[in-house]
Amino acid sequence: MQQFLVPQFIDVENKILGPITVRQFVIMIVIMGLLFIFYKTLDFSAFILATIFTLVLGAAFGFLKVNGAPFHIFLLNVTQTSLRPSLRVWNKYVKNESSQSQKEKNEDNLNSVKLVSQSTKILNTTRLSELSLIVNTGGYYKGEY
């Protein structure tokens, strides 16, 4: 059997200038380029304001870590969490919304509620144990229907 060398510490970034990583160096170069553009295009008071804002934002993206993750990963997580719904409900009886009117939708919802209430009456402990056996065997056991 062949043996392979498994790399260790793969989450550590490569350092190029002392403690500065490649990502931090690129961010610093981009910030310096933006500051040069601001210097050439803006008057002095606007340049000072833009410089302060850009340096704070650049320092946050380059050096700030939140819970051990870089700041840009933290921002991505915050935006994904805020855009995603916090409650997910699975409805087996979803229909195509463009083909049904609102009245038909309400009737379907009432019918699905009736189906759910009827199915809960049918299920007893032996049926539940049979269903759990089907799930636990991955569908190999078919059960009695």
Give 110-143 pLDDT, tens digit per residue. 555 454 444 555 556 677 788 888 888 877 777 7
SS3 category, 16: strand
Instruction: Let me know if residue 140 belongs to a domain.
Output: no
Instruction: Let me know if residue 57 belongs to a domain.
Output: yes
Instruction: Let me know if residue 68 belongs to a domain.
Output: no
Instruction: Let me know if residue 82 belongs to a domain.
Output: no
Model-level pTM?
A: 0.52
SS3 category, 55: helix
Instruction: Let me know if residue 24 belongs to a domain.
Output: yes
pLDDT at position 125 is 66
Total domains present in the chain: 1
Instruction: Let me know if residue 37 belongs to a domain.
Output: yes
Pseudo-torsion of CA 73, 77, 79, 83, nearest 10°?
A: 150
Q: Quickly tell me which residue has 């009737």 as its tokens.
A: 107
Residues of the chain whose pLDDT is less than 50?
99, 113, 115-118
